[in-house]
């Protein structure tokens, strides 16, 4: 029979430490079996195959119905391609993550952006918009992809504080707007004259600076936590 010298409670004879305060117990009887079982529960991952199948069937039936309608009742434009493209895009976004237990973030992001790119490309073909697709849509899409990938890479570290994560997100918004204006200016005027994106960027920087100060000054950080009940 042993007692915790810190809490004053009686401990299990085999306990090496007090479970309440982690104070080491004196001379534990290691031959004494544990009071609780030590076998962890077996938890199988939930199968989302049925949900993936249902979603695939729904998207396929919508695409098929629209395609048939468009074929039976022909119009000037192949409008059903828009619906079919959207269905394919949704399928790529939703179904592979359901079937694969662990999909690498880079692969998932690339597939998602590629799906959007293909959809916009289909629209550009229908509207004879190869020029704006190559000059505007594709670079903006690529820029979004780069920013999101960088952000997800930086936020991967779970030890990062909430304030640091918020600062990174705000910084990403600033960079994103800067890039978007750059591509729009280059496409429309051929020269980069930053205006509205600079305003957004300055606001983002103005928010990030106090956040970084609060993050690095312990007294301010504690005060913020108290006031926000974090």
Give the Cα separation of 167 and 164 in Å (integer). 5
Reported as half-sphere exposure (CB side, CA atoms, 13 A), residue 210 has a value of: 5
Residue 24 engages other proteins in binding (rule: CB under 8 A): no
Cross-strand partners of 2: 11
The least distance separating other proteins from the CB of residue 118, rounded to whole angstroms, comes to 31
Residue 33 engages other proteins in binding (rule: CB under 8 A): yes
Residue 190 engages other proteins in binding (rule: CB under 8 A): no
From 30, 168, 138, select the one nearest 12 (Cα to Cα). Answer: 30
| CB nearer other proteins, residue 31 or residue 38 | 38
Give the Cα separation of 193 and 77 in Å (integer). 38
Residue 21 engages other proteins in binding (rule: CB under 8 A): yes
Residue 195 engages other proteins in binding (rule: CB under 8 A): no
For residue 105 the two structure tokens come to 């973030």
The least distance separating other proteins from the CB of residue 223, rounded to whole angstroms, comes to 8
Q: Among 9, 125, 209, 220, which residue interacts with other proteins (rule: CB under 8 A)?
A: 9
Residue 226 engages other proteins in binding (rule: CB under 8 A): yes
| CB nearer other proteins, residue 13 or residue 139 | 13
Give the Cα separation of 163 and 176 in Å (integer). 20
Q: What x/- string results for residues 35 through 74 when contact with other proteins is judged by CB under 8 A?
A: xxxxxxxxxx-x----------------------------
From 111, 105, 106, 120, select the one nearest 93 (Cα to Cα). Answer: 111
What single DSSP character describes residue 189? T
Binding site for other proteins (CB under 8 A): 4, 7-12, 18-21, 33, 35-44, 46, 226-227, 229
């Amino acid at each position: 029979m042993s007692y915790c010298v810190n809490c004053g409670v009686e401990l299990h004879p085999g306990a090496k430490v007090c479970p309440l305060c982690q104070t080491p117990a004196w001379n534990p009887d290691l031959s004494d079996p544990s009071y609780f079982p030590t076998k962890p529960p077996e938890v199988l991952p939930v199968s989302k195959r049925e949900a993936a199948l249902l979603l695939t069937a729904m998207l396929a039936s919508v695409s098929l119905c629209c395609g048939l309608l468009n074929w039976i009742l022909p119009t000037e434009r192949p409008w059903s391609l828009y619906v079919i493209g959207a269905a394919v895009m949704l399928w790529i976004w939703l179904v592979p993550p359901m079937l694969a237990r662990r999909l690498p973030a880079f692969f998932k992001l690339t597939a998602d952006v590629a799906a959007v790119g293909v959809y916009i490309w289909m629209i550009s073909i229908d509207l004879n918009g190869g020029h704006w697709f190559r000059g505007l849509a594709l670079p903006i899409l690529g820029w979004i992809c780069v920013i999101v990938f960088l952000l997800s890479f930086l936020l991967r570290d779970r030890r990062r504080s909430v304030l640091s994560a918020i600062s990174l997100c705000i910084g990403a918004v600033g960079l994103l707007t800067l890039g978007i204006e750059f591509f729009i200016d280059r496409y429309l005027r051929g020269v980069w004259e930053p205006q509205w994106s600079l305003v957004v960027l300055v606001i983002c920087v103005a928010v990030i600076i106090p956040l970084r100060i609060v993050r690095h000054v312990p007294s301010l950080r504690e005060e913020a936590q108290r006031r926000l009940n974090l």
